[in-house]
Amino acid sequence: MSESRAHRSLVVAGTGSGAGKTTVTLGLMAALRRRGMTVQGFKCGPDYIDPTYHKAVTGRPSRNLDSWMLTSDTVKEIYARSSRDADISIIEGVMGFYDGKDPLSNTGSTAEISLLLDCPVLLVVNCQSMARSAAAIVKGFQCLEPRARVAAVFANKVGSDGHYRIVKEAIEQECGIPVIGYMKREDSLSVPERHLGLVPSIERGELGGLFETLADRIDQTVDMDRLLELAQASEPPAVPQPRLFAEPSRRYGVRMAVARDAAFHFYYPENLELLELYGAELVYFSPLAGEPLPEDVQGLYIGGGFPEEFAERLSAQTQVTDSIRSAVERGLPTLAECGGFMYLTGAIGDTQGRSYPMLGLVPGQVTMQSKLAALGLREVTGAEGNFLLPAGETARGHEFHYSVYEPQAELPHAYETKGLRGVKKDGCLLHQTVAGYTHLHFASNPGIVTRWLECCEAYGR
């Protein structure tokens, strides 16, 4: 592998949410793929939707890079491990370039990731209804953190070729960096609203036409050769010795069932890869397709997703629900996160007042709301009896859901979670199951993996 392959990278950052960085990212990825390049996608922050787009365009799993959930060395390791056989890494930012966990620092922001990995930044600016003022915006982003390498600007949502020229001249004169391309305001070219129910259409390839059109536009309006020059790092980044993915001292010979289909598919790739590294054979099955829990498994992982979109179909799969319910009641070591937690409750109620029975293991039901019920990064502390995260142990993750759990009986809680709104109790413990709304990133506490597999091994005996 040549150095030029290993160390070409670009952070696509926005001035704020809605600047168009996802559209630009996907267009660049598609245009680079068209050139025959191997493109590795990344997403800053805890997000499952945008990486699904990245994978559809690049053909490779996209990775989350979060400098709050994970240590700096872990971020570098995930980045280096995933980029090693790619020609270029494209890292899509989150919110605005400097937005993160703390309004007074770069913590958890796209800026912090760019500094950590020493990556050049392409700043996407929404230039609608402005001319020279665009230069003031870019200059502000340059000045707030002088160490950040804002290498070029992408002028998004310009009204015409003439408008683009005005903006380009102003920015290049005042800020001393190139404006390497633009896209016009065209509603037909925007990425559809990234609600949860869109993901299956991405996975079925229904947005392939959009990706091709975006690649066409990028090829027409972006200086791709200049972009690739800017993406070439002057110094190869230091690759840390594997620690997260170091050779384990022992492996656990267990089979673990993993629910994976259109209703359940929100998994950090590293969570699954760490389970495999430590010896787990992952056996995938689809509750939605009527596939019961696989036989001869010693563990079960039901990740997030949107079971509410498929509640009626899931409810009708009684053979599936019977197989999972009886295994959980027998003590199968299980983790159910967000959508998986919802699946374990008595019912899912939709916004029209209809209710669909689920597994009935967790007493009570979840009810969908039209607005977000919870969103944000979480530090969780294990509660007494949590076999994955014992009392006092911490891990990090995030919450994102529109449903509210309405308990009918009190169960021991699984975690205490700490977010912007303080500390609260989350989830529940029953049999040998940990269930709750928080999506955990196992790399924030790899002990989760070994403790889980030890329980699976004991269950198998």
Going by pLDDT thresholds of 50, 70 and 90, the confidence category of residue 424 is confident
Position 5 scores a pLDDT of 46
Position 210 scores a pLDDT of 87
Q: Is 295 helix (H, G, I), strand (E, B) or coil?
A: coil
Going by pLDDT thresholds of 50, 70 and 90, the confidence category of residue 232 is confident
Give me 31's structure tokens: 């245009």
Q: Are 46 and 69 in contact (CB under 8 A)?
A: yes
Q: What does the pLDDT look like over 164-180, one tens digit per residue?
A: 999 999 999 999 999 99
The DSSP code for 293 is P
Q: Are 58 and 40 in contact (CB under 8 A)?
A: yes
Would the pLDDT of 4 be above 80? no
Residue found by looking up tokens 């590795």 in the block: 40
Residue found by looking up tokens 């959930």 in the block: 69
Nearest to 378 by CA among 333, 432, 427: 427
Q: Are 374 and 426 in contact (CB under 8 A)?
A: no
Position 431 scores a pLDDT of 94
68 to 102, 340, 376, 396: CA distances (angstroms): 10, 25, 12, 8
Q: What does the pLDDT look like over 51-98, one tens digit per residue?
A: 989 999 999 999 999 999 999 999 999 999 999 899 999 999 999 999
- Mean confidence (pLDDT) of the chain: 91
Q: What is the C-alpha to C-alpha distance for residues 203 and 194, in angstroms, rounded to an integer?
A: 13
Position 410 scores a pLDDT of 86
- Reported in sequence order, the residue ranges of 31-120 that DSSP labels E, i.e. its strands, are 39-44, 63-65, 88-96
Position 152 scores a pLDDT of 98
Would the pLDDT of 384 be above 50? yes
Q: Are 112 and 100 in contact (CB under 8 A)?
A: yes
Would the pLDDT of 428 be above 80? yes
| Catalytic residue ranges | 338
- Reported in sequence order, the residue ranges of 147-270 that DSSP labels E, i.e. its strands, are 150-158, 179-184, 255-259, 264-266
50 CB-side CA count, 13 A = 25
Same CATH fold assignment for domains 8-231 and 254-460: yes
Q: What does the pLDDT look like over 296-310, one tens digit per residue?
A: 999 999 999 989 989
Q: What is the C-alpha to C-alpha distance for residues 252 and 248, in angstroms, rounded to an integer?
A: 10
Would the pLDDT of 1 be above 70? no
18 to 23, 96, 298, 437: CA distances (angstroms): 10, 9, 45, 27
Position 239 scores a pLDDT of 60
| CATH architecture for residues 254-460 | 3-Layer(aba) Sandwich (3.40)
Position 319 scores a pLDDT of 97
Mean pLDDT confidence for 134-145: 97
Q: Given this structure, which CATH class describes domain 8-231?
A: alpha beta
Mean pLDDT confidence for 207-229: 93
Position 193 scores a pLDDT of 62
Q: What is the C-alpha to C-alpha distance for residues 455 and 461, in angstroms, rounded to an integer?
A: 10
Position 95 scores a pLDDT of 93
Mean pLDDT confidence for 102-110: 91
Backbone angles phi, psi at 399, to 5 degrees: -120, 140
Give me 109's structure tokens: 């922001």
Nearest to 122 by CA among 22, 234, 14, 18: 14
Going by pLDDT thresholds of 50, 70 and 90, the confidence category of residue 376 is confident
Would the pLDDT of 196 be above 90? no
Position 201 scores a pLDDT of 61
The domain limits of the chain are 8-231, 254-460
Position 344 scores a pLDDT of 97
